[in-house]
């Protein structure tokens, strides 16, 4: 039995040409946990995501996934290990239908086209896009494209999913649906880290919140604790 936490980040730092985006960030994510990642604009949330998913090589520190060091691994290696992600600015495969988009994700675990198609049907159903399966991804609304990215990421059978602002620009009903979707992902045993500005979407469902400011972690606790944390309040008021 593997007793290591799902994800352990230790002293992570990332600088671009001397500009520090992340500094000395440490935290742990447990299996199946829902963790919100918040912070003012430019706090380094997306950079952290990019480091975790293998898109950036950290300048310092260590990232361990299920006890294995994955610092500086490639995105494809991270995906194979079980880290999936969505993008802040949606990156669906424009020339493909919704179903085909999800099939590409499913092919990570099963290269057979027919089986990938079946898997894609399940994930489309899970995010509520079955009726749009044959629609070209470029014709979907932004909110549908965001859900499509979630379905595509889930099709890779991840253990951890990184959701980058999936609720941005949604109306209140859609935000509620998105929260429920995250909760249902949790029920499948998949951990999620959610970058979000929409507090009413993330606060009710998160088990824990991480707060970044100027590239450093300033708080780590339950949503209730975070809401009363003076450092967090100062960071948001100072924005």
Q: Min. distance of Cβ 134 from another protein in angstroms?
A: 8
**Position among 6, 58, 73, 87 found at the interface with another protein (CB under 8 A):** 87
Please enumerate in sequence order all residues whose Cβ is within 8 A of that of 229, keeping only pairs 6 or more positions apart, or say none.
211, 219, 221
Q: Min. distance of Cβ 74 from another protein in angstroms?
A: 7
Residues 127 and 107: beta-carbon distance below 8 Å = no
**Applying CB under 8 A, does 171 fall inside the site for another protein?**
yes
- If you search the block for the tokens 């002293």, which residue do you land on? 11
Phi and psi angles of residue 238, each rounded to the nearest 5 degrees, phi first? -75, -5
- Which positions from 98 through 137 interact with another protein, judged by CB under 8 A? 100, 103-105, 107-108, 111-113, 116, 134-135
Q: Which is nearer to another protein, 161 or 206 (CB)?
A: 161
Q: Which is nearer to another protein, 44 or 54 (CB)?
A: 54
Tell me which residue of 198, 202, 209, 161 sits closest to 180, measured CA to CA.
202
* Total number of residues that touch another protein (CB under 8 A): 41
d(C-alpha 52, C-alpha 72), whole Å: 9
Q: Which is nearer to another protein, 111 or 238 (CB)?
A: 111
Q: Min. distance of Cβ 213 from another protein in angstroms?
A: 23
Q: Which is nearer to another protein, 97 or 179 (CB)?
A: 97
Binding site for another protein (CB under 8 A): 17, 53, 55, 74-76, 79-80, 84-85, 87, 91-96, 100, 103-105, 107-108, 111-113, 116, 134-135, 139-143, 149, 152-153, 156, 169-171
């Amino acid at each position: 039995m593997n007793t290591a936490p799902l994800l352990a980040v230790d002293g992570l730092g990332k600088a671009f040409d001397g500009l520090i985006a992340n500094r000395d960030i440490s935290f742990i994510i447990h299996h199946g946990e829902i963790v919100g990642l918040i912070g003012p604009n430019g706090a380094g949330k997306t950079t952290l995501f990019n480091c975790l998913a293998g898109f950036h090589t950290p300048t310092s520190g260590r990232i361990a996934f299920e006890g294995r060091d994955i610092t500086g691994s490639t995105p494809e290696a991270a995906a194979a290990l079980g880290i999936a992600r969505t993008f802040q600015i949606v990156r669906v495969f424009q020339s493909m239908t919704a179903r085909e988009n999800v099939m590409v994700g499913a092919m990570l675990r099963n290269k057979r086209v027919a089986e990938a198609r079946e898997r894609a049907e399940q994930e489309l159903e899970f995010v509520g896009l079955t009726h749009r399966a044959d629609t070209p991804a470029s014709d979907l609304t932004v909110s549908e494209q965001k859900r499509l990215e979630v379905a595509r990421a889930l099709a890779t059978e991840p253990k951890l999913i990184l959701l980058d602002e999936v609720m941005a620009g949604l109306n209140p009903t859609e935000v509620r649906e998105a929260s429920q979707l995250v909760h249902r992902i949790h029920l499948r045993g998949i951990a999620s880290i959610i970058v979000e500005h929409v507090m009413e979407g993330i606060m009710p469902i998160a088990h824990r919140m991480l707060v970044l400011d100027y590239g450093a972690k300033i708080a780590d606790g339950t949503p209730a604790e975070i809401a009363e944390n003076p450092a967090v309040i100062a960071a948001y008021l100072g924005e």
